[in-house]
Every structure is written in C-alpha cells, then in structure tokens.
Amino acid sequence: MEPYHTLYIALLLLFSFLLIICLIRAVKGPRVADRLMAVNMMGTMVMVMISILALLLNEGYLIDICLIYAMISFLSVVVLSKVYIGIYEERMHKENGKEDNSHDSI
C-alpha cells in the first residue's frame, strides 16, 4: 500500500463534500454571477479530483482526461457567460424600448 493512500482518499472525500456545497450554490444563486462562479469552481474541483485519482491509481492517462475536461469546463463557462450577457442586454433593450414608448404617448 502506498504511503499517501489514506491522504488521497481523505482529499477525495473532502472535495466531494465541497462539490456538493458548490452544487447547492449553483442551484440557489441568488445572482447569476454566483451561479457562474459555482459552476466554474465545480469544474476546477473535478479536475483536482481527477488528478488525485491519477496519483492514487498510478494511471497517467487520467491527466490527459483532466486537460480535456479543463478545456471543456472553460468553454462551458464562456458560453454560459455569453448567454447571460445576451439575456441581460435583451432585457435592457426591452426596458429602454418601454421607456421610449411611454414618452411618445405624452
């Protein structure tokens, strides 16, 4: 048995608990920025967990999977940010349109 085996297991359990907390934050909010930050943090924690598993199992290919997961996680946060910005701009455009229409009727 490897000397760090117990430490790796303890870290995986700790990160699992922290992942659940981030999932709760991602669902509850209260703001969209909080949700985006929680999703980004969850991606980072999953990458750390995959790295710990690579050390625990002595499997080098898991690091390659971790790098691919990092790229996918980064792209998902960018896409979610773009969607949020688009929704925010559309909402602001509609509010400005309502204000302009109310001035026209006077």
**pLDDT, position 52:** 95
What pLDDT sits at residue 105? 52
Fill in the amino acid letter for 18: L
CA 20 to chain centre: 12
pTM above 0.85, yes or no: no
Does residue 1 carry a pLDDT above 80? no
pLDDT in tens, 43-94: 999 999 999 999 999 999 999 999 999 999 999 989 988 998 888 888 888 8
Q: Which pLDDT belongs to residue 91?
A: 87
Query: Exposed, middle or buried, 63 (CB in 10 Å: 0-12/13-18/19+)?
Result: middle
Query: Cβ(17)–Cβ(42) under 8 Å?
Result: no
What are the helix (H) ranges across the chain? 5-28, 32-57, 61-104
